[in-house]
Structure 1
Amino acid sequence: MKRDLAAPELRPAFADPVFDTQAVFRTLMSAVAYPGRIFPLDRSVSAPHPLDVAATALCLTLADFETPIWLDGRASSDEARSYLRFHCEAPQTTDKKSARFALIADPSSMPHLMDFHPGDVEFPDRSTTLIVQVPSLTEGPTASWFGPGINQVIKPGIAGLPDWFWPEWNLCSEIYPMGVDVFFISGDMLVGLPRAVRVEV
């Protein structure tokens, strides 16, 4: 059988799928429990272009055949799509409302938060989780975060977000406990932003 020279090279996933997935999941739970703190991933993976290591690790850990994933224009490369299809078996959807996860590699032009599924009153956990790949977790404009898991206040400097992001984030708080959750990614680092967090800019 002839190899398709036009097909993107398929990079490997975790070296040890069981232990690596468990380690990444523990890190994710820490990021949710302590919003605004930067957590490094202690597992490496060969990420498909243009995804960062942490974004790839989150997809390998969270996405499966029951979790439709939406990719923005930049994340939607042939290499990334093939990788996620093979390693995660997650359906790739163009409908933001039906996505359980949204992978955003170009935050400056990302869709508005309410374009995604906020969950519903009976099942708020069925909302979309956004995985947002940003240029830096420390070099952007600082904002004050308040809420569960935060000792008084924490001031992350997430770079690359559109101007409307934080005002819209606080507007979405009016529908709590519904709403989206966010993981900000940069390289092999991540920051969690659960829907219960309030932000002042």
Structure 2
Amino acid sequence: MTKQSQFSGGFSDASIQAAHAFRAAMTAMARPGEIRSLTGGLPPKPLSIAAGTLLLTLCDPETNVYLAGAADTPAVRQWLTFHTGAPVTGAAEADFALGTWQDLGPLTAYRIGTAEYPDRSATLIVECAELTNAGATLSGPGIRDTACLSLPDIPALHANSSMFPLGCDFFFTCGSEVAALPRSTTIRSEG
């Protein structure tokens, strides 16, 4: 990554774009299974626009980020550091972790909170090849009746949600789209 490109790819109008991106991310988390557009950042490859925009929106110098597998490149590290100041750490210390499902596993590597502080858990940003409203059936807070979402590993995500109020929260990203799965969501296999 050249110095010029290391400094590019952030929000061009930070106050407006960050506000729009934050609202889209929080709305996705409040409405599990709903796929939303999330744009504004132009991160280096292999990150998607949505994943990069989440990092720009949610991370700062006090936010530990774990980059898993192919997401952990010098270009991504430099871009993340320049635009957010967020330190790159290991999975066990991560506030946010980013990568494909295969690269992020196992879920036991991440903080799930404690009985006193369930909010001290990790949020995983999972890069997906596709994101569709098909597959697992979701129910719970923020969902009228049910919703459907393509999930990479229903048994592992079901086990995570069964620990509620402990457990991890998830954003699933593909291109410029994002969907969320908070730990409070009940997950059933399709069919």
TM-score exceeds 0.5: yes
* Counterparts in 2 of 1:123 and 1:86: CA distance versus 1, 3 Å: same
Give 1:13's aligned amino acid: G
Paired residue secondary structure (2:98) = strand
Whether the 8 Å CA contact 2:42–2:53 is kept in 1: the answer is no
* Segments ≥4 residues shifted beyond 6 Å: 5-8
* Structure 2 unpaired stretches of 5+: none
Q: Which position in structure 1 is the counterpart of 2:98?
A: 103
Q: Which position in structure 2 is the counterpart of 1:147?
A: 140
| Cα distance in 2 for residues equivalent to 1:154 and 1:174 | 18
Whether the 8 Å CA contact 1:142–1:157 is kept in 2: the answer is yes
| Cα distance in 1 for residues equivalent to 2:2 and 2:173 | 30
Give 1:143's aligned amino acid: A
Give 2:41's aligned amino acid: V
**Following TM superposition, by how much is the alpha carbon of 1:7 offset from its aligned partner in structure 2, in angstroms?**
6.7
Identity of aligned residues (%): 35
Alignment partner of 1:64 out of 60, 63, 77 = 60
| Cα distance in 2 for residues equivalent to 1:69 and 1:107 | 16
| Cα distance in 2 for residues equivalent to 1:26 and 1:173 | 24
| Cα distance in 1 for residues equivalent to 2:55 and 2:106 | 21
Confirm or deny that 1:188 pairs with 2:176: yes
Query: After the TM superposition, which residues 20-31 of structure 1 pair with which residues of structure 2 at under 5 Å, given as runs?
Result: 20-31=17-28
State the number of aligned residues: 188
| Cα distance in 1 for residues equivalent to 2:94 and 2:84 | 15
| Cα distance in 2 for residues equivalent to 1:100 and 1:109 | 17
Q: Which position in structure 2 is the counterpart of 1:39?
A: 36
| Cα distance in 2 for residues equivalent to 1:6 and 1:153 | 47
TM-score, with length taken from structure 1: 0.87
Give 2:142's aligned amino acid: G
